[in-house]
Structure 1
Amino acid sequence: MDMIVQPTSRLQGEIQALSSKNYTTRYLLVAALAEGTSTIYYPAHSEDSDAMRRCIRDLGAVITEDDEKIVITGFGKHPASVEQLDVGNAGAVLRFLMAIAALCPEVTFINTYPDSLGKRPHDDLIDALKQMGIEVEHQSGRLPITLKGGSPKGGRIRVSGSVSSQYLSALLFLTPLLPEDSEIEVLHDLKSKVVVGQTLEVLAQAGIRIDASDDLMFYKVPGRQSYQAKEYSVQGDYPGSAAILAAAAVVDSDVTVLRLEENSRQGERAVVDVLKAMGVDLTHEGSVVRVQGGKPMKAGEFDGDEFTDGVLAMVAASVFAEGTSRFYNVENLRYKECDRITDYLNELRKAGAQVEERQSEIIVHGRPEGIEGGVEINAHYDHRVIMSLTVVGLRAKQPIRIKDAHHVAKSYPHYFDHLKSLGANVQWVE
């Protein structure tokens, strides 16, 4: 379905931030890897987290759920033998489970999104798994991918972090279960270090011991460890809330978002600081963020690697700032559900934004007077692109139509419901 986004004069009200997708998928996985029963309170409901639920159930986890919590009895070190796994369009779920599936005799990850996840390469993780004695059949690094393993070996493992930190996280989930101790060396560069910090935080909560170097480029992982069954509580999600906060910044507003912890380790917490730097009237006390928007904003320069999943929303806000904004160190955006630099900027230009791209930069020449709109936009099946284009549409002079906007459900199924509750003029159309 498509979404018509009409110019909106004011947003006002209070919403609860959705639960964190990143933490939910990690808690689901460590609960499945535990021998015993774990409870996860306030889990996220999205296509990504649903994909993890579905796959760990296929691998032998027993799951029950109600409105507040999900209870999981794990399979520990012994996942069930399955022929196929379907991760949908969830890249992180695919990569984490490629490592865990190495414990199975033979598993094929099928390709159900050939125009999105099916285009994304996974060579760096494949290379690492081969070092561990796993045979991998693939299509130039892409889905479908078949792993023939059952007995991965620890030891010295090298993995590139220059495309995605998810390859490293996948190895960190697997290696504690192996008979051998492991040393993991990250080659080249490591993108999204803050997200690796989230992985290490969850592993520690699950009772796993890992010795990480200060720069997160080298790890000593004792083998023969066991995940402990625990209780977890999922915090509010900054990546999804980034677009809500950006929308409140660019139009006249008084919007409060609850459950966004000040001391969160989510890198996207930085979007609060980015908006403040742009001159947005914003307060953050405890877990409450309040934005009183619609005032003049100023451009700035920001290291996007610190808040990868919030960059597009901040770019959308900067479209209406005075001056030229620069988001640098963002090349890894090219390897997401779509090329979030080229594809996203092409759609922004259609709507009237003045933007430029470099290999690892996004340049925005702000237009405080607003943009024209009045166009149909292709969101490239990407939930972050959909949310961020909506922000731009709220300040456009004419409506924009976002194609296939239902793909927002990948991370934030209630995004448009939340915007409507705040007064946004948005409407689903066939």
Structure 2
Amino acid sequence: MDVIVRPTPELRGEIGALSSKNYTTRYLLVAALAEGTSTIYYPAHSEDSDAMRRCIADLGAVLEEDEEKIVITGFGRHPKDIKELNVGNAGAVLRFLLAIAALSPDITFVNTYPDSLGKRPHDDLIESLQSMGVEIEHRDGKLPITVRGGAPKGGKIRVSGAVSSQFLSALLFLTPLLEEDSEIEVVNDLKSKVVIGQTLEVLEQAEIVIHASEDLMNYKVPGRQSYQARDYTVQGDYPGSAAILAAAAVTNSDVKVHRLMEQSKQGERAIVDVLRMMEVPLTHENGVVHVLGNGHLKPIEFDGDAATDAVLAMVAAAVFADGTSRFYNVENLRYKECDRITDYLNELRKAGADVEERQAEIIVHGRPGELPGGVTINAHYDHRVIMALTVVGLRCQQPLVIKDAHHVAKSYPGFFDHITALGGNVEWVENGTL
């Protein structure tokens, strides 16, 4: 399904932020790795979190869910012996479960999204697992991948953090369950350190002990630990809310988004600080971000590594700033569902934006007025690109058609419902053209 986004000068209203996808997937995993029954309140519903639900059930966890919560009886350190797992298009779920699959004798991760997740590399994690005695068959680090494990060994482990922090998170979930103590050394830099903070927070809540160095590059992990069954409450999601807040910033708005904790460890919380730097009128109190947008924005420079999943929404806002903005240290955007630098900027140019790319930078020459629009654009099956292009479409002179916009469900199934509730002029169509 495609979406037509029509010019929308004003947004008004209040919404509750969707629940955090990152926290939900981590809570689902630690609940599955516990021997006992855990309860997760307000879990996210998205393609990613649903993929984790499906996969842990396939691995032997028992799930019961109602509108408020999900109750999970875990399989502990003994996942069910199955032959295949299908993670859909969920990169984090794949990487976390590649590590957990090392506890099983033989699992093949199938490739059902060859044009998206099927193109993403996982070599860094594969090499680490192989150093632990796990036999892995793969195609240049890409799906399909077969893991033949059963008896992974701890000890000294090295992992590159240059492409993704998810490889390190995967090892942090696995190593506490091993017989041996482990020492994990991160080499070649570590992207998205803030997200590692989320992993460590969830592990601590599950009563797992991990000793991390201050720079998050070295870890001592005692072996023979057990995940404890617990109750968890999922906080509101900043990555998805970033697009809502950016939309409010570029229009005349009076928008409130609830359930966004001021002290959250989500790096994408920086969207609030970035909009303040752009002189967008807003307040953030008692978990509510209140934007009184007037469409006037100042350009900024921002290190995007700590807020990777909010950068595209920030760029969408910067398209309408009065001057040139620069987002740097963002190379890992190239290794997501699509190349979120080249692919995204190509679509922005079609809409009329003046943008440039470097290997690790996005440069935006903002124009305070409206973009021409009036084109059909390709979001490359990427939920973050879909949301960010929607922000731009609200402030175009002519409509934008976003192809395959239903892929927004990967993280935020209700995104267009929320945009519509705030007054956004969007319409679902089949095979939309202009």
TM-score, with length taken from structure 1: 1.00
The 2-side partners of 1:336 and 1:286 are apart by 33
CA deviation map 1:330-385 (0-9, x unaligned): 00000000000000000000000000000000000001011100000000000000
CA distance in 2: counterparts of 1:82 and 1:55, whole angstroms: 11
What's 1:426 paired with?
Answer: 426
Residue in 2 that maps onto 1:137: 137
SS at structure 2 position matched to 1:372: strand
Q: Report what 1:41 is aligned to.
A: 41
Give, in whole Å, the separation in 1 of the partners of 2:247 and 2:133: 49
Give the distance between the partners of 2:252 and 2:276, measured in 1 at CA: 16
Q: Cα RMSD between the aligned structures?
A: 0.4
Alignment of 1:255 with 2:255, yes or no, is: yes
State the shift of 1:191 in Å: 0.2
Instruction: Return the alpha-carbon distance in structure 1 between the equivalents of residues 152 and 275 of structure 2.
Output: 46
Residue 68 of structure 2 corresponds to which residue in structure 1? 68
Q: CA–CA distance in 1 between the matches of 2:139 and 2:306?
A: 32
User: What is the deviation of 1:9?
Assistant: 1.5
The structural deviation recorded for 1:295 is 3.7
Residue 302 of structure 2 corresponds to residue 302 of structure 1:
yes
- Secondary structure, aligned partner of 2:103: coil
- Work out whether 1:318 is the aligned partner of 2:318: yes
1:184 maps onto 2:171 in alignment:
no
Q: What SS does the corresponding residue of 1:320 show, helix, strand or coil?
A: coil
Superimposed CA distance per residue, residues 180-225 of structure 1 (whole angstroms, 9 cap, x where no aligned partner): 0000000010000000000000000000000000000000000000
For residues 73 and 148 of structure 2, the distance between their equivalents in structure 1, rounded to whole angstroms, comes to: 26
Residue in structure 2 matched with residue 374 of structure 1 by the alignment = 374
Paired with 2:269 and 2:313, the residues of 1 have a C-alpha distance of: 13
- The residue correspondences of 1:92-103 to structure 2 (distance < 5 A) are 92-103=92-103
SS of the residue corresponding to residue 375 of structure 1 reads strand
Q: Identity of aligned pairs, percent?
A: 78
Which residue of structure 2 lines up, in the alignment, with residue 275 of structure 1? 275
Shift of 1:394: 0.1
Q: Which residue of 2 aligns with 1:347?
A: 347
User: Offset of 1:19 from its aligned partner?
Assistant: 0.1
- For 2:296 and 2:36, the matched residues in 1 are separated by 54
* Counterpart in the other structure of 1:396: 396
3-state secondary structure, aligned to 1:294: coil
Query: Which amino acid counterpart does residue 242 of structure 1 have in structure 2?
Result: A
Q: Which amino acid aligns with 2:249?
A: A
Q: Compute the displacement of 1:286 (Å).
A: 1.8
Partner Cα distance (2:43, 2:165) in 1: 23
In the aligned structure 2, how far is the partner of 1:128 from the partner of 1:9? 51
Matched with 1:121 is 121
Residue 360 of structure 1 corresponds to 360
Q: Which runs of 5+ in 2 are unaligned?
A: none
Whole-angstrom distance in 1 between the partners of 2:32 and 2:333: 30
Counterpart of 2:392, as a letter, is V
Deviation at 1:258, TM superposition (A): 0.1
Does residue 412 of the first structure (1) align with residue 412 of the second (2)? yes
Q: Which residue of 1 aligns with 2:20?
A: 20
Partner of 1:150: 150
Runs of 4+ in 1 over 3 A off after TM superposition: none
Partner of 2:207: 207
Q: 1: distance between equivalents of 2:222 and 2:305?
A: 30
Q: Distance in 2 between matches of 1:296 and 1:30?
A: 44
**Letter paired with 2:346:** N
Deviations 1:137-176 (A, max 9, x none): 0010000000011100000000000000000000000000
* 1:56 partnered with 2:48: no
Q: What count of residue pairs does the alignment treat as equivalent?
A: 430
Residue identity in the other structure for 2:357: E
Indicate the residue corresponding to 1:385 in structure 2: 385
Quote the Cα distance in structure 1 between the aligned partners of 2:82 and 2:294: 53
Counterpart residue type for residue 159 of structure 2: V
Q: Residue in 1 aligned with 2:333?
A: 333
Matched, 1:91 2:107: no
TM-fit CA distance, 1:28: 0.1
| 1:244 is aligned to 2:244 | yes
Taking the aligned partners of 1:306 and 1:95, their CA distance within structure 2 comes to 20
| Amino acid of the structure 1 residue aligned with 2:217 | M
- 1:96-147 CA-partner distances (Å, limit 9, x unpaired): 0000001000000000000000000000000000010001100100000000
| 1:166 counterpart residue number | 166
Determine helix, strand or coil for the equivalent of 2:199.
Answer: helix
d(CA) in 1 for partners of 2:146, 2:396: 46
For residues 65-87 of structure 1, the C-alpha deviation after alignment (integer angstroms, 9 at most, x for no partner) is 00000000000000000100000
| Counterpart-to-counterpart distance in 1, 2:121 and 2:113 | 13
Please name the residue that 2:78 is paired with.
78
Three-state SS of the structure 2 residue aligned to 1:399 is strand
Q: Distance in 2 between matches of 1:15 and 1:392?
A: 20
Amino acid of the residue matched to residue 205 of structure 2?
Q
Normalised to the residue count of structure 2, the TM-score between the two structures is: 0.99
Which residue identity does 2:52 align to in structure 1?
Answer: M
SS in 1 for 2:276: helix
Query: 2:393 is aligned with what amino acid?
Result: G
